[in-house]
Structure 1
Amino acid sequence: MGKVALEGIEFHAYHGAFPEESILGNRFTLDLEIETDFSSAMTEDKLSETIDYAKLYSLIKSRMDVKVKLLEHLGYLIIQDILEAYPQSQKATLTLKKHHPALGGLVKHSAVTVRFPEDFQNHD
Structure 2
Amino acid sequence: MGIIKVENIRVFAHHGCLAEETKIGSDYRVDLEVEADLQTSAKTDKLSDTVDYVFLNRIIREEMKKPSHLLETVAKRILSRIFNEDALVNKATVCVSKLNPPIGGDVEMVTIKMAEKRKK
TM-score, normalization by structure 2: 0.94
Distance across 1 between alignment mates of 2:89 and 2:54: 16
Shift of 1:88: 2.4
Partner of residue 97, structure 1: 97
Partner of residue 26, structure 2: 26
Give runs of aligned pairs for residues 58-73 of structure 1, distance below 5 A. 58-73=58-73
Partner of residue 15, structure 2: 15
What is the CA deviation profile of residues 76-120 of structure 1, one whole-angstrom value per residue up to 9, with x for unaligned ones?
Answer: 110101111112211111111001111122111111000113xx9
Any runs of at least 4 consecutive aligned residues in structure 1 with deviations exceeding 6 A, and if so which? none
Aligned residue type for 2:60: I
Q: Which runs of 5+ in 1 are unaligned?
A: none
Partner of residue 114, structure 1: 114
Distance across 1 between alignment mates of 2:35 and 2:53: 14
Task: Report if the CA contact (8 A) 2:15-2:68 is conserved.
Answer: yes
2:39 equivalent to 1:39: yes
Shift of 1:59: 1.0
State the percentage of identical aligned residues.
32
2:3 equivalent to 1:3: yes
| 2:31 alignment partner, SS class | strand
Partner of residue 49, structure 1: 49
